[in-house]
Structure 1
Amino acid sequence: MGSGDLRFSIWIVFALCLVCFSVGFDPVDKYYINCGSSDDVKVGNSIYVADKSASKFLTTPQDILADSNLNSITPSEGSLLYRTARIYTGPSKYTFSISQNGRHWIRLYFYPFVYQNYDMRSASFSVFAQKTALVSDFTPKNETVKEFSVNVMSGDLVIAFSPSSNSFAYINALEVVSVPDSLIVDDASLFNPSGAFNGLVNQALETVARVNMGGPFVSLENDTLGRTWVSDRSFLLQPNLATNESKISAVKYPQGGPTSDIAPPTVYGTCTKMNSGSDPNSNFNVTWVFNVDPGFQYLIRLHFCDIVSTAANQLVFNVYIDSFLVAQDLELSTKSGGQLATAYYMDFVTTPFDKSKFGLSIGPSPRSGYPDALLNGLEIMKMNNSRDSLAGAAILPTFPGSKKKLGVILGVSIGVPLALVMIGILFFMHIRRRQERLRHSRTWVPISINGGTTMGSKYSTGTAVSVGSNLSYRIPFIAVQEATNNFDESWVIGIGGFGKVYKGILNDGTKVAVKRGNPRSQQGLAEFRTEIEMLSQFRHRHLVSLIGYCDEKNEMILVYEYMENGTLKSHLYGSNLPNLSWKQRLEICIGAARGLHYLHTGDAKAVIHRDVKSANILLDENLMAKVADFGLSKTGPELDQTHVSTAVKGSFGYLDPEYFRRQQLTEKSDVYSFGVVVFEVLCARPVIDPSLPREMVNLAEWAMKWQKKGQLDQIIDPNLVGKIKPDSLRKFGETAEKCLADFGVDRPSMGDVLWNLEYALQLQEATVHNDPEENSTNVIGQLSPQVGDFNHVDASPSVAQFETSSVDDLSGVSMSRVFSQLVKSEGR
């Protein structure tokens, strides 16, 4: 075979590989519309249907279909889509029926031309998806493709066009396509300050740049999700410092990791790297510069694949976003179990930019034997702001219906207001009756922390806080300033998604924790209000107490009782704090379970925490556990309902998979998250650790494998080896396993969990007096086979029941003593 034939054969194999990689995901919802045209058009692997076929989705005051009448047209990609356009002279909307909830692409195609009296080069308009403004007062000047992705929770997706004053709107082509759930997940990192970013799955995103580093333009035909990737050459600040590498055929997608849906092999198989040559002392960064809109946060996705090393651990480098070091001593082979040429990506969320450009850099690490760094691909996505906008302050228009719907509109216009008035009257009467009942049934006692002055008497005219009012909790801003030494940075004890947490001392000497909201935080006013409403209603020894709040000077500040020993998470890993004993860990889990059980059962309607994790379980000076951070909490379903339909929120690694799939929230979602915490307590490691081998990355999945094999003792915290009695470990593991059941109906209630954790503690402590070395747990198990059973009927047996069941022949360990904690009152 000649060299020409060999090259031809290689290209054939390469092309077949591309085809294989480009037929992965099959979207459930897919709408492609060739606007203004009477003909279907094929672009790539998709058929854009003629406008008349899609008119059933459209509501518009006037049908204006524009044709460019050009035999040739300048745009290259999908040029046939730009020959025609639909013009909107007033508010118009497309309504698409969505079969599968989740993230969807929205791609808008624009190419201005002149049609009769409509010069599209001067058109100005806004576009909305549901209530999110995608573009505002937008005037496309040339060929433009705007790509967005939004999370559609239920029902229909409405895309609306609103012409600016004295103008009109238009579009050449439109597509709405399902996106795999795995494409955007809550696994992004914040930087400046560093931490985890929660809520990414619910963000509306606009693609600002999608770049193939070191490679050519990747067309939509060669991407499983119909994306295009541009070359990075025009973005390089100093092109002479960079060189390219290509090894597409070597790319591997790890099991359980990125797939070709994340990025195709034509992206992972090429890279831009340092042009170090043979100079072992090279010390420079390769930098790209991109345009951004100030005032918005951005999701930055970095794609890596080590196609340059010849052996593992050769390549170690640093990554910077806008001069901030976001990945130090990055060693790609450790992310893939020592494998080279393996796809890997990292997500970062920025703070809102205050400038119109930002830089991305890679550079050598001092740990590397030879100075080199690489990047294979990059995606920059703008995130919607607090006004639910990806553009300016556009206002969603109202939409008149067609003439033939006039009768319906008149009926609705008359009937709906009347119905609303009636509903309003009934609702008002219901609220009045409820408030009257509450006023007669319960009043909150003044708050007192460690004997300190009550909030009511200290900062307000009242001496007690009623259910219907939070005014007695308000603290003047100047008092908060004094308590925190004017927000002294040296007093910061934590940083979260809401903002910084300061240690504070009130003027009566009471220690407090002061959480000051970051105005740039995504966790804003709604979470602030929820926290106040929840914690001002509930009082329990295993829930962190709210002392007060401050909303002066546009501040959002929450003041809590001070928890001397910080978070449970900090005592398990990532710090130099002393190790917790097994008994301490059990008691902490029991305390947290009591707090959650109270939330679920302490009122007429359950309260679902929605963010149960070790970082939200705080420990006081005696290591007593208290559940904290109620900003995402939600009131549970009505008595005649099984769930609450709501947007998915929580922390990655702890999130109930059933809740994530169905957006249906129940108390069992908290139970799942608590099950993850239980394994976290036992194994003392992060719930998600990408630096570990693939099968160990997710703690819940890894621990469940060992639990089902009956070998949970193989993965426990080394500090606990030999210190846990087998029966206690067995009961603890069974409890976690039940909590992590795939379906909520199969999980225990928090009351059941509490029973079993109490039992695990007593199994650890109980001994037979005649034989100190002998564990009496088998005797206890024989006496009451129902104890610890998740199927028992009454989760809160009375004291009398225990007294009549007491047995005193357990070598001094009676049943009433074994379950002494369970009969304590958990009332308010």
Structure 2
Amino acid sequence: MHPLSNGRDTKFSDPFLNGLEIFKISENSLKSLAGPNPDPIQNPNNSNAGHNKKKSISGTTLIGVVLGAVFGVILVFIVVFFVFRSKRKTKGEMATTTKESKSSATSKWGPLSFSTTKSSNTQNSLPSDLCRSFSLLEIRAATNNFDELFIVGVGGFGHVYKGYIDNGATPVAIKRLKPGSQQGENEFINEIDMLSKLRHLHLVSLIGYCNENNEMIIVYDYMERGTLRDHLYNTENPALSWKQRLQISIGAARGLHYLHTGAKHTIIHRDVKTTNILLDEKWMAKVSDFGLSRIGPTGITKAHVSTVVKGSVGYLDPEYYKRQRLTEKSDVYSFGVVLFEILCARPPLIRTAEKKQVSLADWGRYCYKNGTLGSIVDPSVKWSIAPECLRKFGEIAVSCLLDDGTMRPSMNDVVWMLEFALQLQESAEQREHVVIPHTLGRIDDLEGEKRGENDDVFSSGTSVAHVSDFNKSSEVSVSTMTTSSSGDNSYGYNKESVFSEIVDPKAR
């Protein structure tokens, strides 16, 4: 019993035979015990090995694809970076070449290209947007080549010209830096940086600037009425009415209030004075000249900025001058001097006057304390000020001039109190045509009685008036002011009309 010799039907020998019965039932036509072998049993380990091999191959392929994609993305970024850098370099070279070859006669909005004579620090400090770029050719055309007949102002920065741009359609004020002034250059950069980021009804608007051929020029909206000082003293202009002065005071105070609280960081003007308050054709006040401005304290724990003392003599905060610590209350002090200028129509310093009258700030406080404020009021408005309004205005000015800066009101408080003083004036004008009696020389006589220590928000027991509390709510301040201004309401004015600004939000 062996496999067929030709191996046609078998490949393996059967290892064992189960008896003759298998032979009998065999359907083999040759009646032989030889037959085909069954299919060999597959080893399960061999199958798993094949599967693992496929899985391993698939994992390797996936890793390769991911790594390839990552390297591809990195390569794309590198290519884009170098292309972008190359384009920027080309644009910069083209702008410089264009600037040096020919000045464009058409102004544009957008980034400025700078003359190669300027330092890199100046170029980097100037803003690259939000300002209109003027060529020197345009500025010369606007001012008739800086004709002296076009000069409308002279200051520490340089000359201010009136000019016309946009084919003569738009009047502008053009401030030209004095050549070679390093301090002026710093102020130039600072003012553009400040004004390019600020927009407010009571701040002068920056239109643009020119930085070419060693010329540094700033272009503003033109203020038709000039400076506030032009309408107070040493002028041929008609005197301002008292109501106009109040409204101008309120406008300037709002501008300073915006600087202190409306921007991202507190901005301290540092040079508040009547020549830096401009008036437009409608007599609206706008604060100007931000060359000395500084960013105020930025930290919660920091209350001041340590800096070199700068400002104008007669307006400087004594606390800032002595300690070189600048706060927004330094602006409040300067504004107090401005208020006395508005009231008295005299300069902040008169060096030829008697010793106690040299400084307007000291003289004003002295007169207020002694009840003789009426004696230093500008004669042109002396007889048109309502007594209660005069008293309130004096309180505000003196509070701004307190020696301790922390006791001075904020500009928000100043705005509110000035609006209240205007309400008092308007209320009195509605009652009758106010004529101040000849006893105006003493504030005590305005109400026909002596002031008691508790009749006012100030106590007169010290050489400088004391402010009890300027941080109270408006409602509390209203009751305080009602007591101090009207006493027993002997004037008979309507309280509802006086406080209409509270009832009607639009009044503010």
Question: TM range, normalised to the smaller chain?
Answer: 0.5 to 0.7
> d(CA) in 1 for partners of 2:429 and 2:226?
37
Deviation per CA, 1:770-818: give whole Å up to 9, x if none.
x53689x99xxxxxx99x9852435799xxxxxxxxxxx9387263346
Deviations 1:721-750 (A, max 9, x none): 211111101110000111000011010000
Identity of aligned residues (%): 53
Q: Go from structure 1 to structure 2 and tell me whether the alpha carbon gap of 1:468 and 1:487 turns closer, same or farther (over 3 Å shift).
A: closer
For structure 1, the residue ranges without an aligned partner over 5 or more in a row are 1-456, 779-784, 798-808
Distance change >3 Å, CA 696–CA 768, structure 1 → 2: closer
Partner of residue 490, structure 1: 149
Secondary structure of the corresponding residue to residue 669 of structure 1: helix
Q: What are the superposed Cα offsets for residues 687-746 of structure 1, whole Å, 9 maximum, x if unpaired?
A: 111122222111111111001112200111111121111110111000011100001101
Matched-pair contact (CA < 8 Å) for 1:619–1:626: yes
Deviation at 1:568, TM superposition (A): 0.5
Equivalents in 2 of 1:557, 1:767: separation in Å?
47
Q: Is the Cα contact below 8 Å between 2:210 and 2:218 reproduced in 1?
A: yes
Structure with the largest fraction of helix:
2
Q: How does 1:90-101 map to 2 (within 5 A)?
A: none
Distance 1:679 1:705 in 2: 12
1:654-704 deviations in Å (ceiling 9; x for gaps): 000000000000000000000000001101011111122222111111111
Structure 2 partner of 1:436: none
The residue that corresponds to 2:268 in the other structure is 608
**Equivalent runs, 1:108-119 vs 2, <5 Å:** none
Using the alignment, how far apart are the partners of 2:109 and 2:434 within structure 1? 60
Residues 1:565 and 1:528: Cα distance change in structure 2 (over 3 Å): same
Q: Give the distance between the partners of 2:362 and 2:244, measured in 1 at CA.
A: 25
CA distance in 2: counterparts of 1:819 and 1:728, whole angstroms: 20
Distance in 1 of aligned mates of 2:286 and 2:233: 19
Over 6 Å off, 4+ runs: none
Match status 1:662 vs 2:311: no
CA 1:618–1:790 in structure 2 vs 1: closer, same or farther (change >3 Å)? farther
1:758 to 415, 419, 423: 419
Contact 1:546/1:561 (<8 A) preserved:
yes
Query: Aligned partner of 2:238: which letter?
Result: P
After TM superposition, give the deviation of residue 615 of structure 1 in Å: 0.6
Alignment of structure 1 residues 692-771 onto 2, 5 Å: 692-767=353-428
1:479 Cα deviation (Å)? 1.0
* Aligned-partner SS, 2:291: coil
Contact 2:163 / 2:172 at 8 angstroms: preserved in 1?
yes
- TM-score, normalised to structure 2's length? 0.63
Contact map agreement 1:569 1:615 (CA 8 A) in 2: yes
Alignment partner of 1:685 out of 328, 342, 346 = 346
Contact kept, 8 Å, 1:738 with 1:748, in 2: the verdict is yes
In our comparison, the structure showing a higher alpha carbon Rg is 2
CA drift of 1:544 comes to 0.3
Match of 2:162 among 503, 509, 525: 503
**In 2, Cα distance between equivalents of 1:685 and 1:719:** 12
Q: Distance in 2 between matches of 1:753 and 1:710?
A: 22
CA separation of 1:560 and 1:819: change in aligned 2, threshold 3 A:
farther
In structure 2, what is the Cα distance between the partners aligned to 1:823 and 1:644?
A: 35
1:792–1:510 CA distance, 2 compared to 1 (3 A): same
Partner in structure 2 of residue 815 of structure 1? 499
Deviates more, 1:682-691 or 1:629-638: 682-691
Matches within 5 A, 1:50-89: none
For the aligned residue pairs, the C-alpha RMSD in angstroms reads 2.8
Is residue 474 of structure 1 aligned with residue 153 of structure 2? Answer: no
User: Does structure 1 conserve the Cα–Cα contact (< 8 Å) formed by 2:228 and 2:275?
Assistant: yes
Alignment CA distance shift 1:591-1:820 (3 Å): farther
1:564 partnered with 2:224: yes
What corresponds to 1:539 in structure 2? 199
Q: CA deviation at 1:469?
A: 3.4
Cα gap change, 1:522 to 1:672, in 2 (>3 Å):
farther
Q: Give distance in 2, aligned partners of 1:522 and 1:706.
A: 42
Relative to structure 1, the CA distance from residue 459 to residue 525 in structure 2 (aligned partners, 3 Å threshold; closer, same or farther) is same
- Give the alignment of 1:1-12 within 5 angstroms: none
The answer to whether the 8 Å contact 1:582/1:723 transfers is yes
Aligned equivalents of 1:691, 1:819: Cα separation in 2:
49
More strand by share: 1
Count of matched residue positions in the alignment of Structure 1 and Structure 2 = 344
d(CA) in 2 for partners of 1:470, 1:795: 40
Deviation at 1:604, TM superposition (A): 3.1
Alignment-mate amino acid for residue 228 of structure 2: L
Secondary structure, aligned partner of 1:653 = coil
Q: Evaluate the alpha carbon distance shift between residue 482 and residue 820 of structure 1 in structure 2; reply closer, same or farther with a 3 A threshold.
A: farther
